[in-house]
Structure 1
Amino acid sequence: MRLAILPLLLAPLFSPLLAQAAALSICTEASPEGFDVVQYNSLTTTNASADVLMNRLLDFDARQGKLTPSLADSWEVSADGLTYQFKLHPGVKFHTTDYFKPTRTLNAEDVVFSFQRMLYPANPWHKIAQSGFPHAQSMQLPSLIKQIDAPDPLTVRFLLDHPDSTFLATLSMGFASIYSAEYADKLFRAGTPQKLNSQPIGTGPFVFNRFQKDASIRYRANPDYFAGKPAVDPLIFAITPDANVRLQKLRRNECQIALSPKPLDITAASQDPALKIEKADAFMTAFLAINTQHPPLDKPEVRQAINLAFDKNNYLKAVFEGTATSANGPYPPSTWSYAKDLPGYAHDPPKARELLAKAGLKDGFATTIWTRPAGSLLNPNPSLGAQLLQADLAQVGIKAEIRVIEWGELIRRAKAGEHDLLFMGWAGDNGDPDNFLTPQFSCPAVQSGTNFARYCDQGLDKLISAGKTTSEQGVRSKLYQQAQAQIQQQALWLPLAHPTAFALTRKEVQGYQASPFGRQDFSRVSVSP
């Protein structure tokens, strides 16, 4: 084996002598679907679970663009790319709560359990997840990982079926969080395995306290956090769907950080001396998914007509108000392997009507547009965006009914493929371009539900899979550019925008950074008196 990463020592982030704990309230836009993050794929759920309660073997440092140690201090990769061995950080403690008192520190058994429950149908925990394991399934981990074992209590070894250049990056994603096997065993023996989703236990910087749906989530600082106790305590997620109300709460100091502000709120905050604006170029794409399994959307000409009918420039001005750039495909332009020369679809209603006639639909057809009720980073004004699309489609004879569906219900039903046209967005979790292709366009992702276009094509699948079998970036880029060309030609999405990730904070907040991936790290945040 060759050493891939050298061990790093983790130092406490804050000293009790340097920082005094203060409460930190975050105005967020929606409730999580649950806290067993492996069952879900929304960023809202990742923020409320994986980002605050859990840790992974590795983290991805977006600003440095590289993987860094977390629960694993170091790792080795065999020369053939089939064996990955991780050395765990010693002495990492799981959370102590009124519903669980751990008797041991984290060891390799916990890592083995965390992955086996997702990968092996014979594992008793596999069928407990009512929503399945969408990320593990769409990333094709069951066919990739042949075996996981523990040579010793602080060593974990993965044996892969074939080389995969994205494997390490995948392990930094929220769904790869490590759970307590001891806690899971206690719940299983008590006949209450569902509590893993409502009473979570992790190793992360904050400990779960309580959750009131559509109201708040309360956490307390983890005094035993292996990277040092956070300087804020308690941490509160104030669930506030209305962006205007989030700004009002921020101004009244009822929240110290407000997520997913509207463009107008950003302008207002820039003129308020009590507030700060944090931003990052988001590694995200807002899009309209077109369900290729629902006739007549199964015809490429119809999907192309929808792309041509929509006035995207008008949409960007009205909905994002200068805070996003136009999307021409799944990737943000900063992505290596981005296909910059693809033609795209200019606004051309006559051409759209021509294509509909070619598809035998000269009189148009009826369909539905699904959207969420409250704004988000990837959809700041859902109502306006849906109305603009509805009006443009009507101009070419497509009669679209708008359906506004609560976020959790929207995700659940969209994963089941019930939608026609769906306003959605995707955030790359780990900096690798495959993180857009495999979850959104592969055949396994149709089964797991993350492929909202519901498109399965063996030729496209081969391109995506081939891109993971080599570490040569030039080779991967050519394959991914071919994949992007097919995605655009087939018009699987109506690509909308690449937004800027904004957050608004009080001046007293220190150490908070907006993430290009939409992830949230409050372990490094402090609030001055």
Structure 2
Amino acid sequence: MLSTKVRKSLAVVLLGSMVALAGCGGGQSASEPGKEGGTSSQKKVVNIGLKADPPSMDPVMSTSLYDRQVQNSIYNKLFDVDPDGKIVPVLADSYKVSEDGKTYTLTLKEGIKFHDGTDFNAEAVKFNLERGLGDKSKRKGELKLINSVTAPDAKTVVIELKEPFAPFISALTDRSGMIVSPAAVAKYGDEYINHPVGTGPYVFVEQVKGDHVTLKKNENYWDGEVKIDELNYKVFTNGTAAVQNLRSGMLDIIDEIPVKEIPTVESDPNLQVISQANMGYQGFFMNATKAPFDNQYLRQAVDRAIDRATVVKVLFNGYASPANSPFSPGNLAYGDSDKYEQPDAAVIKDLLTKGGKPDGFSFKLQISTNPVNEQFGAVIQNMLKQYNINAELEKVEYGTLIENGNNGNFQALQLGWSGRIDPDQNIYDFVVTGMPNNYGRISVPELDDALNKARAELDPAKRKELYDQAMEILHENAGYSYIYHNYDKIGLSKKISGFTYVPDGIIRTAKLDKQ
């Protein structure tokens, strides 16, 4: 993976303005209740701005990047990704794989407790993996090859797969590997989503939908002292407002700086910009079960009418790259499948004619209510107009956007993916028949077959060939239009220390400190 680029300002610190901001809530260390002036004890509070509301605190039900930002502070995972993009053990201490690639034996760390005081052990891991296989689980695509899970003793988990599955450990670096308290699930049932309990560095306090999620430090965290007393994730759908709050000290970190605001943040002596190409992609689904996109040619016409290079230039000024696949540079499956052709009016006209709409057609494109996606929608709309394709933009709250994806209540829907290190996790659940994130609802047996073979193939070169084959089929069917690969653009106060960038874009909080 590429190394982090940290851009630091050389301007002089404006001490007077900072003193004036010292009283802003959360900008400085706040005194504990009952401590006058904070002279006896200081409560360290870190406020993180997210550009959308996290819909779910339950890893099994989660499909949002914003969920993951919070969940990674509440839960530990069996494995994680390090700053170099390599897989490292967390709750697992080590693992072994059988010669046939079908049996994984995990040895777990000992002496760890959940926030509710119950023990983390092999039975808890067994419970979580089996829960992830449930009918309503969003993780079942990643875990469906599990045949059985056994816990021969408190620190050993044996997982038998139906067939070899190359991405298995990689899947356990994300939500499939997040371990929730079995006792809490039993206690709260369907309400667990509002009472999340993990083993992570922070303990859930409350969530006020559309406003904030508050966590407090885990006083007994197993992996070293947590130095921040309170962590607040605050929702700022307006990126400019988030930057203003970062500059004032009301926020300490923001998950995404709008491109137009990057020079402002760079020029502030109290802030830094972390800009790094990540593993994700952005684009939109076309619903293959609803007119007009039940017609393959009309899906292709829309996909071919989009000038990816212009989208990136207009919206991102170099802080993104054009895409035509879910595989970014550095991914095992990255290659020619990511190349794109410039729009060709004759080709698009021919596709419209084959689709029975030679004079064009109209559809509704649902986009989330933040400025970046609104601008994205407007650019796509203008590109399609010249081919008599009318995209009517529907602005939808982010959580509703995901609900509409789940229930199929859309014609076209703009949602991207933050990316994972294994190619399977960037494509399988989104395009294979019946998988939970296949919002476009395409069903192509040849595509399913290629991707099932790719996840069972252990030879990297052969896997790459299978992904190339799958992308040829996917481009022909156009169930999802890949437009660009993301860059992480994180804003950070220089009062914060202990921050380490990881190429999955998640803000790790366990080691954070604040002056």
User: What does residue 434 of structure 1 align with?
Assistant: 424
CA contact (8 A) 2:84 2:502 kept: no
Q: Does 1:183 align with 2:173?
A: no
| Whole-angstrom CA distance in 2 between matches of 1:465 and 1:408 | 30
Q: How does 1:137-148 map to 2 (within 5 A)?
A: 137-139=140-142, 141-142=143-144, 144-148=145-149
Aligned-residue offset at 1:343: 5.6
- Greater mean alpha carbon deviation, residues 499-508 or residues 293-302: 293-302
Q: In structure 1, which of residues 288, 291, 294 is the aligned counterpart of residue 287 of structure 2?
A: 291
Over the aligned positions, Cα root-mean-square deviation in angstroms equals 1.8
CA contact (8 A) 1:22 1:233 kept: yes
Runs of 4 or more, structure 1, over 6 Å off, are none
CA contact (8 A) 2:149 2:157 kept: yes
User: What does residue 489 of structure 1 align with?
Assistant: 476
Aligned-residue offset at 1:494: 2.2
Q: How does 1:371-390 map to 2 (within 5 A)?
A: 371-375=367-371, 381-390=372-381
User: What does residue 69 of structure 1 align with?
Assistant: 89
Change (3 A) 1:57 1:463: same
SS in 1 for 2:157: strand
| Whole-angstrom CA distance in 2 between matches of 1:342 and 1:201 | 40
Q: In structure 1, which of residues 187, 191, 195 is the aligned counterpart of residue 191 of structure 2?
A: 195
| Whole-angstrom CA distance in 2 between matches of 1:304 and 1:82 | 39
Q: How does 1:115-514 map to 2 (within 5 A)?
A: 115-120=129-134, 132-134=136-138, 136-139=139-142, 141-142=143-144, 144-185=145-186, 187=187, 192-340=188-336, 344-375=340-371, 381-429=372-420, 431-445=421-435, 448=436, 450-514=437-501
SS in 2 for 1:73: strand
Aligned-residue offset at 1:158: 0.9
| Whole-angstrom CA distance in 2 between matches of 1:84 and 1:314 | 46
CA contact (8 A) 1:56 1:171 kept: yes
CA contact (8 A) 1:327 1:496 kept: yes
| Whole-angstrom CA distance in 1 between matches of 2:255 and 2:133 | 34
* 2:70 maps to amino acid: A
| Whole-angstrom CA distance in 1 between matches of 2:341 and 2:481 | 9
Change (3 A) 1:30 1:342: closer
Change (3 A) 1:246 1:208: same
| Whole-angstrom CA distance in 1 between matches of 2:215 and 2:405 | 30
Aligned-residue offset at 1:342: 6.3
User: What does residue 60 of structure 2 align with?
Assistant: 38
User: What does residue 26 of structure 1 align with?
Assistant: 48
- Greater mean alpha carbon deviation, residues 81-90 or residues 312-321: 312-321
Change (3 A) 1:52 1:209: same
| Whole-angstrom CA distance in 2 between matches of 1:315 and 1:428 | 20
Tell me the percent identity.
27
| Whole-angstrom CA distance in 1 between matches of 2:176 and 2:43 | 29
Structure-1-length-normalised TM-score = 0.86
Count residues in correspondence.
474
SS in 2 for 1:232: coil
Aligned-residue offset at 1:204: 0.3
SS in 2 for 1:151: strand
| Whole-angstrom CA distance in 2 between matches of 1:148 and 1:195 | 26
CA contact (8 A) 2:292 2:363 kept: no
| Whole-angstrom CA distance in 1 between matches of 2:418 and 2:495 | 29
For structure 1, the residue ranges without an aligned partner over 5 or more in a row are 1-19, 97-101, 122-131, 376-380
| Whole-angstrom CA distance in 2 between matches of 1:108 and 1:499 | 37
| Whole-angstrom CA distance in 2 between matches of 1:288 and 1:119 | 27
